[in-house]
Amino acid sequence: MVMNIQGLYAVACVTDMPRAEDWYTTLLARPADDHPMPALTQWRNIGTAGIQLICDFEKAGRSVVTIVTPNMGVEKDRLTDLGLDIGPISRGSFGAIAEIADQDGNRIIIAEPPKDFTG
């Protein structure tokens, strides 16, 4: 029997929750949806998933989050205009990817699937 999954969250571990929440609010262009626990901030319903920030000094800077966008060029321009330093775009048969890091060094991969991708 297949697991009945209701939701899925990508998690980034951070050291300074207010600073990280501000940065991710800029990245995602909307405020967090809620703070279910003192060391947890989350954005729900981002595409088909969510993003959580967890204050964890030992694991901060080791997280990798992938965000899929339909148009890498538009997203790179938007992030650059906001003052966020996104790396170069790599393109191939896989689509396109670029990387940005938060203040703790967590890697956020911005990905654009190939034009014929249906998944």
Tokens 């938060």 belong to: 102
For residue 58, the model assigns a pLDDT of 98
Q: Phi, psi (5° rounding) for residue 79?
A: -65, -40
Structural domains in the chain, CATH included, are 9-112 (3.10.180.10)
62-73 pLDDT tens trace: 999 999 999 999
Strand extents, DSSP E, the chain: 9-14, 34-37, 40-46, 49-55, 64-68, 90-92, 95-101, 107-112
82-116 pLDDT tens trace: 999 999 999 998 899 999 999 999 999 999 998 87
SS3 at position 57: coil
Tokens 């901060």 belong to: 60
- State the Cα–Cα distance between residues 102 and 15, nearest whole angstrom: 11
29-47 pLDDT tens trace: 999 999 999 999 999 999 8
For residue 118, the model assigns a pLDDT of 72
